[in-house]
Chains A and B, each alone.
Chain A
Amino acid sequence: MSREFVTVADEVYMLYPEDPGNLNRVKDRPEHQFFKKYGEAMPAGDWHHPGTKQGIYMMGPNAEYLEGRFAASGDPGDMRARMTRALERWTALAKSNGYANSPVPSVKTSLPPGITGSLILKVNLRDLPRGGGDTSGSRIEEVKARTGQWNEFTKWAWNENWIGLPDARSLVPSTGAVENVSATVIERICREVLVDNVRGQAPRWKPEAIKEANLTMRIQSQKGSLTQVEYTGSCLMDSGANSYRAKLYGQSTWNSSSGSFEKFDLVATGMRSGAWQFNQREQDKGPAPMGVSLSLYNP
């Protein structure tokens, strides 16, 4: 697929907003005009208008319609067929329009925009087992019954996020004693990534929702330039309608020669409750266990 298409993943909301106010703000932007031109050439039903434009779309370099569908993620077979049709249409279009059809260079997946800092951590979130035959947290390959609906992903409920911290050394003790990780760092972790977006979007916690945010670190051992560090902590975020109370544990290896981590893992587990507008928890408000891991990103 990467050899045939220029593959792009991006946020849709400010490309084609659903609400009139934001739509008016972007209506003259070239990227909005491009996407709108493509969408208006799509068959009715595949282009969702008015409404969300979340989906998977195939288009020529001048917004020509090739294939695509909004809310497309639930039916891999349908998407495979659409991609095949898109390439058939592309073959004809490239010939008729004289497109160069130059080889698509191989690229590495980029970080989402805005994720910067000397310590980039990849965040994973998953529902944890609840016992009694409950299958929360199942992996995608363990889910056999498929409906083809857009919300199929709620059956496996894993998600990914990122956080970039400005100073990796803020997670390295400077003495042999137990030290507190700065409030700035642990509160950022709590606010931005200890949120329930296992099934979709949840906003970061407001500052007043952070009721407890503690993370300590201590040196476990040192050998040459390598320092083993252990982390323990606890957090409570509570907005009234939503909460997450978690315990944290982690370990890292700091290389003082390179001034960087060779390994960093931090795990948070605990009970979450409530539902946000877009995180698919209306029928599953808990309390129920949720786990979050933060691990070193190695590009």
Chain B
Amino acid sequence: MLLYLLSALVVPQAGEPNAENYQALLTLIQPSVKEAAYKEIGWRNQFWPGVQEAKKLGRPILFWTMNGHPLGCT
């Protein structure tokens, strides 16, 4: 719904943020709770220190990996 409400706001100029619309644009661009749900997991940001921690604890590792850092530094 938000997407459609904002269509009229954004499309005509496609690039004119101002004092009146910038809060709505922030809401549109930023993630919803569901999109950001992966952040409920406490992610360590480096593999090898994570392995050392797992060895010390005697625990398994769940490793999420991409070309470009998965936590957003692409």
Residues of A whose CB lies within 8 Å of any CB of B are 1-2, 4-13, 15, 30-31, 34-35, 52-62, 66, 68, 83, 86-87, 90, 94, 99-104, 106-115, 123-126, 128-131, 135, 137-142, 156, 158-162, 197, 200-202, 230, 245-251, 265, 267-271, 278, 289, 291-293, 295
Given contacts A9-B45, A291-B29, A295-B30, contact A61 B51 (CB under 8 A): yes
Nearest A-chain residue to B6, judged by Cβ: A129
Q: Please determine whether A251 and B22 come into contact, CB atoms closer than 8 angstroms.
A: yes
Taking CB atoms, residues of chain B closer than 8 Å to A68 are 63
Query: How many whole Å from A248's CB to the nearest CB in chain B?
Result: 7
Q: Please determine whether A106 and B42 come into contact, CB atoms closer than 8 angstroms.
A: yes
Q: Which of B10, B32, B71 has the most CB of A within 10 A?
A: B71
Taking CB atoms, residues of chain B closer than 8 Å to A293 are 25-26, 29-30
Question: In the bound complex, what is the Cα–Cα distance between A268 and B7 (angstroms)?
Answer: 16
Question: In the bound complex, what is the Cα–Cα distance between A68 and B63 (angstroms)?
Answer: 9
Q: Which of B22, B57, B62, B68 is within 8 Å of A56, CB to CB?
A: B62
Query: How many whole Å from A273's CB to the nearest CB in chain B?
Result: 12
Can you sample 5 A-B contacts with CB below 8 Å? A7-B62, A8-B47, A58-B60, A102-B59, A269-B14
Q: Please determine whether A249 and B19 come into contact, CB atoms closer than 8 angstroms.
A: yes
The 7 closest A-B pairs by CB, nearest first: A100-B58, A270-B15, A99-B58, A8-B50, A112-B73, A5-B62, A160-B72
Residues of B whose CB lies within 8 Å of any CB of A are 3-4, 6-7, 10-11, 14-19, 22, 25-26, 28-32, 34-35, 39, 41-48, 50-51, 53-74
Q: Which of B11, B41, B58, B74 is within 8 Å of A61, CB to CB?
A: B58
Q: Which of A1, A53, A289 is within 8 Å of B62, CB to CB?
A: A1
Question: In the bound complex, what is the Cα–Cα distance between A66 and B35 (angstroms)?
Answer: 28
Q: How many pairs of A and B residues are in contact by the CB < 8 Å rule?
A: 266
Given contacts A12-B66, A54-B67, A62-B55, contact A201 B74 (CB under 8 A): yes
Nearest A-chain residue to B70, judged by Cβ: A9
Question: In the bound complex, what is the Cα–Cα distance between A83 and B60 (angstroms)?
Answer: 11
Q: Please determine whether A129 and B3 come into contact, CB atoms closer than 8 angstroms.
A: yes
Q: Please determine whether B59 and A5 come into contact, CB atoms closer than 8 angstroms.
A: yes
Q: Please determine whether A110 and B71 come into contact, CB atoms closer than 8 angstroms.
A: yes
Nearest A-chain residue to B39, judged by Cβ: A109
Taking CB atoms, residues of chain A closer than 8 Å to B29 are 124-126, 158, 267, 291-293
Q: Please determine whether A112 and B14 come into contact, CB atoms closer than 8 angstroms.
A: no
Taking CB atoms, residues of chain A closer than 8 Å to B67 are 11-13, 52, 54, 201, 278
Q: Please determine whether A112 and B69 come into contact, CB atoms closer than 8 angstroms.
A: yes
Q: Please determine whether B44 and A8 come into contact, CB atoms closer than 8 angstroms.
A: yes
Taking CB atoms, residues of chain B closer than 8 Å to A124 are 29-31
Question: In the bound complex, what is the Cα–Cα distance between A13 and B29 (angstroms)?
Answer: 29
Nearest A-chain residue to B68, judged by Cβ: A201
Question: In the bound complex, what is the Cα–Cα distance between A138 and B34 (angstroms)?
Answer: 12
Q: Which of B28, B63, B69 is within 8 Å of A57, CB to CB?
A: B63
Q: Which of A12, A112, A135, A278 is within 8 Å of B45, CB to CB?
A: A112
Question: In the bound complex, what is the Cα–Cα distance between A94 and B73 (angstroms)?
Answer: 35
Taking CB atoms, residues of chain A closer than 8 Å to B31 are 124, 139, 158, 160
Question: In the bound complex, what is the Cα–Cα distance between A112 and B71 (angstroms)?
Answer: 6
Question: In the bound complex, what is the Cα–Cα distance between A89 and B1 (angstroms)?
Answer: 44
Query: How many whole Å from A116's CB to the nearest CB in chain B?
Result: 12
